[in-house]
Amino acid sequence: MKKRNPEREGTTDPVSGLAIPAGWIEKSIDPHVMEKVNSGLWALLSDGTLLKRGLTTGTTAAAACKGAVISLKGFIDNVTVLTPAGIRVSVPVDGRDGVCAAVKIGGDHESDVTAGAVMEARAEPAEVEMREEGDAGGRIELVAGPGIGRIGARGLCAPPGKPAISPSARREIMGAIEEGMAESGLAAVRVKLSVRDGERIAEKTMNPKVGVNGGISVLGSTGFVEPWNEHLGESREAEIQKPDRVVVTTGRVGLKYSRFLFPEHQVVLLGNQLDRLHFREDQESVLCGLPALILKWGMPDILEGTGYGTVAEMVEKEPHHPRIGEAICEVRARLPITRIVLLRRDGSVLRDEGPDVRAPRERLGGTVVSEDRNGKDRGFR
């Protein structure tokens, strides 16, 4: 069987799931680019730039808890943690006599207010039969201490009154504790997790506004923090108008992948409020996202007479359907100076339409089905 060559065929980001074209890899000047991408700790952008990911509060907490359990047997300065993304990471810790601290790593994220937070865990042997707030058949008791917020509203990561620890972060922590128990030979443990100055740090987060009180949240669906800010700005119109290069996205998928595709642009999430969209004439502007919102904005009756129930269904079954081309023309008529990029859910490019047909498209990679001003398929793939 022929061995696959990622540098020629591309690869997949193990954290985001983004298909990385070979062209991105070739543009990187780092000789260890593949090793870094495969580690999950680095995000490769379309221009070859590598940005370092941080670790979530969940991964940091898991490291502290595992270290605390192992340190009951002796000093420890490093542990490995299996993240929700399925990638094992090595985390520096300071653990002795059942007490262990881990510092949250922020990576290249410029505005991660929890970066540098110290998460501390205290472990002690326990009776197997105890089950209060426990998991793993009553062998583990996890207690949320000072600095960890409490849920004060419905619809958040846990029921009201409970510690602000998301289900995925809790599973990561419990798995790490179990690994620590196996290494130290303990049958049952009680672990108390806290965050130094957690209440003060939380004041800089969204927690007070969303109903999490008294500390930070312990979160993380992948175990990693992307090296950019994904929070919505208070004035999105101002955010769109300010930069010389801007990408407006319609949802989280577009937000996620636009960072990789357009590393030199500021990315703004506008959602379904495209009627509020207005670019400066001298801006290099891009509208990027999944097809449904963008195409329906351009042609509200796009599905009429097609037999399809959703735009997503039509795009999947007939990506060259005439109505799709008509809707894109309508979008371009409303945004004549803006590049329109439609994405699939895996981040690959479905359509790439812009006001300048000479603009290079190859750096986006993926499969581009694009037409020139005469409606002719440019055939770039």
Are residue 191 and residue 160 in the same domain, yes or no? yes
Are residue 185 and residue 87 in the same domain, yes or no? yes
| Cα–Cα distance measured from residue 142 to residue 173, given in angstroms and rounded to the nearest whole number | 9
* DSSP character at residue 145: -
Question: 128 or 226: whose pLDDT is higher?
Answer: 226
Question: Can you give the pLDDT at residue 275?
Answer: 83
Question: Can you give the pLDDT at residue 379?
Answer: 32
Q: Of 168, 190, 225, which residue sits at a domain end?
A: 225
Q: Of 225, 248, 263, which residue sits at a domain end?
A: 225
Are residue 287 and residue 251 in the same domain, yes or no? yes
pLDDT in tens, 298-346: 999 999 999 998 898 999 999 999 999 999 999 998 998 999 999 998 8
pLDDT at 233 over 60: no
Q: What share of the chain is helix, strand, coil (3-state, %, to 5)?
A: 30, 25, 45
Question: 242 or 194: whose pLDDT is higher?
Answer: 194
Task: List the alpha helices (DSSP H) in the chain.
Answer: 6-9, 22-27, 33-39, 57-70, 167-184, 198-202, 207-210, 236-241, 252-261, 291-298, 311-317, 322-334
Are residue 180 and residue 74 in the same domain, yes or no? yes
pLDDT at 132 over 60: no
Amino acid at 222: T
Q: Which phi and psi (to 5°) does residue 313 adopt?
A: -65, -45
229 with 238: CB under 8 angstroms?
no
Number of domain units in the chain? 3
CA angle at 198 for the pair 197 and 200, rounded to the nearest 5°: 70
pLDDT in tens, 9-60: 789 999 988 888 899 999 999 999 999 999 999 999 888 999 999 999 999 9
Are residue 66 and residue 194 in the same domain, yes or no? yes
Are residue 157 and residue 261 in the same domain, yes or no? no
- Determine, yes or no, domain membership for 378: no
Are residue 187 and residue 331 in the same domain, yes or no? no
- Determine, yes or no, domain membership for 377: no
Are residue 21 and residue 32 in the same domain, yes or no? yes
- Determine, yes or no, domain membership for 374: no
The sign of the dihedral angle between the CA atoms of 139, 127, 166, 116 is negative
Among the ranges given (80-94, 169-183, 365-379), the one the predictor scored with the smallest mean pLDDT = 365-379
What is the chain's alpha carbon radius of gyration, rounded to the nearest angstrom?
A: 24
Question: Can you give the pLDDT at residue 232?
Answer: 43
- Determine, yes or no, domain membership for 381: no
Question: 106 or 231: whose pLDDT is higher?
Answer: 106
Q: pTM higher than 0.85, yes or no?
A: no
Question: Can you give the pLDDT at residue 191?
Answer: 98
Question: Can you give the pLDDT at residue 269?
Answer: 85
Residues whose CB falls within 8 Å of the CB of residue 34, separated by 6 or more in sequence, listed in order: 6, 7, 11, 25
Among the ranges given (12-21, 85-94, 337-346, 365-374), the one the predictor scored with the smallest mean pLDDT = 365-374
Please report, for the domain that includes residue 211, its CATH number.
3.30.2110.10
**Chain centroid to CA 234:** 21
Instruction: Tell me the residue range of the domain where 130 lies.
Output: 55-225
CB-CB neighbours of 188 under 10 Å: 18
Can you tell me the mean pLDDT for 61-79?
97
Are residue 202 and residue 286 in the same domain, yes or no? no
| Cα–Cα distance measured from residue 203 to residue 16, given in angstroms and rounded to the nearest whole number | 29
Residues whose CB falls within 8 Å of the CB of residue 219, separated by 6 or more in sequence, listed in order: 56, 57, 58, 157, 165, 166, 168, 169
Question: Can you give the pLDDT at residue 8?
Answer: 61
Closest-CA residue to 268 (of 238, 294, 296): 238
Predicted confidence band at 128 (pLDDT cuts at 50, 70, 90)? low
Are residue 192 and residue 279 in the same domain, yes or no? no
Are residue 127 and residue 258 in the same domain, yes or no? no
Predicted confidence band at 215 (pLDDT cuts at 50, 70, 90)? very high
- Determine, yes or no, domain membership for 117: yes
- Determine, yes or no, domain membership for 369: no
Q: Of 194, 225, 256, which residue sits at a domain end?
A: 225
Are residue 162 and residue 245 in the same domain, yes or no? no
